[in-house]
Amino acid sequence: MSDRDPKSNDRRLSRRTVLKGGALAGAAALGGNALSKAGQQLEPRAEVPDLHGAGGTGPFKDIQPGGFDATAFATEFDGGRVSQLPSGQTLREYDFVAIDKEIEIAPGVWYPAWTYNGRVPGPTIRCTEGDRIRVNFRNGGSHPHTIHFHGFHPADMDGVFEIVDPGQQFVYEFDADPFGLHLYHCHTTPLKRHIHKGLYGAFIVDPAVGREPAREYVMVMNGFDTNFDAENEFYAVNTVAFHYMRHPLPAVVGERVRLYVVNLLEFDLINSLHLHANFFHVYRTGTALEPDEFTDTLMFCQGERHVLEFEFKHPGPFMFHAHQSEFAELGWMGLFDVADA
């Protein structure tokens, strides 16, 4: 198999093979009887389900849209260029440029995105509460844009009224507050267009006291309206449909996993995350150090984001996906590959 991941074990390969051989709907049954052939190598079926015009190439071919690697993205935390202000305060400086760019979001499906720094989502900004954030923004795109950060900041740093026209620049500067999981996105009207085109990202403000050590992943829930009918044809976390089915996220039995989950999905009112064979602690908006809830399925409106913590009791592959089955079957599903401790 040309797309074989050398790190894959046979069980995972056979899961993929089952997926390749079956309807996408069958994937929702993963973890159940559909996998009873674990260890058996099956050849992929010649044809795989078409996906709203995916051209019959199916969702399982590997892609890295514009060099964007969704596996790397999940663990990339950008602390910026760090220096100290005369007051002793930590300054974290970032350069953002808005660029129009076509990105491949599923095999053979190209989307004319508007991006920060040539990628969707934009970089995951990470800092500690009280840090000074400075973002040098240049609009290299073809439309007016801004960056609107969630969190406290002055009115003239809100990214709403200070429209940055193509070729123009703007410097956003504010103190990171409050700690939690936040987001940023363009706030130029029409808003839904500027957001769903790809101008958004995660913004993590760590508490000064820190959080417990954990294996951490960022998941930005998104989708793409590839035929501009105000409905999404593809759904994902971190842009690439089914990416984490092909490249499961590693975890270890008994080790804490922490997810930073931000919902930027446009058009659909609600998104969700369901974790198989497990429950997670929910830190709503990440703004407290005590969990609010213990569940296995969580809803997210657009702009809602939560820190989730859990550990696996058992080794093996475990799914996570939107519990809107339609979203899952159109790309928003993935796997954790849990190793024995």
Residue 32 C-beta: closest distance to Cu ion, Å: 43
Q: How far apart are CA 314 and CA 333, in angstroms?
A: 20
Sole binder of Cu ion in the list 16, 20, 132, 145 (CB under 5 A): 145
Is the separation of the CB atoms in 341 and 253 below 8 Å? yes
List the one residue from 24, 103, 157, 186 that touches Cu ion (CB under 5 A). 186
Minimum distance, C-beta of residue 220 to Cu ion, in the bound complex (Å): 17
What is the radius of gyration, based on Cα positions, of the chain? 20
Contact region with Cu ion (CB under 5 A), list: 48-56, 89-97, 199-207, 325-333: 199-207
Residue 156: strand, helix, or coil: helix
**Stretch of 13-21, 64-72, 137-145, 208-216 contacting Cu ion, by CB under 5 A:** 137-145
Question: Is residue 138 at the binding interface for Cu ion, with CB under 5 A as the rule?
Answer: no
Stretch of 7-15, 24-32, 198-206, 220-228 contacting Cu ion, by CB under 5 A? 198-206
Find the shortest distance in angstroms from Cβ 23 to Cu ion.
38
CA angle at residue 236 from 235 to 240, to 5 degrees?
115
Amino acid identity for residue 53 in this structure? G
Distance CA 335, CA 341 (A): 18
- The verdict on 322 binding Cu ion (CB under 5 A) reads no
Stretch that binds Cu ion, among 8-16, 127-135, 196-204, 293-301 (CB under 5 A): 196-204
Closest CB to Cu ion among residues 145, 196: 145
Answer for the pair 71, 63: CB distance below 8 angstroms, yes or no. no
Sheet with 148-149, strands from edge to edge, namely 125-128, 200-206, 180-185, 148-149
For Cu ion, which residue of 115, 117, 139, 188 counts as binding (CB under 5 A)?
188
String marking each residue 91-130 x if it binds Cu ion according to CB under 5 A: ----------------------------------------
Closest distance to Cu ion from the beta carbon of 229 (Å):
21
Which residues touch 316 (CB under 8 Å, ≥6 apart)?
Answer: 11, 338
Q: Is 194 in the site for Cu ion (CB under 5 A)?
A: yes
Per-residue burial over 263-296, b = 16 or more CB atoms within 10 Å of its CB, e = otherwise: bbbbebeebbbbbeebebbbbbbbbeeeeeeeee
Could you list the residues that contact Cu ion (CB under 5 A)?
Answer: 145, 186, 188, 194, 199
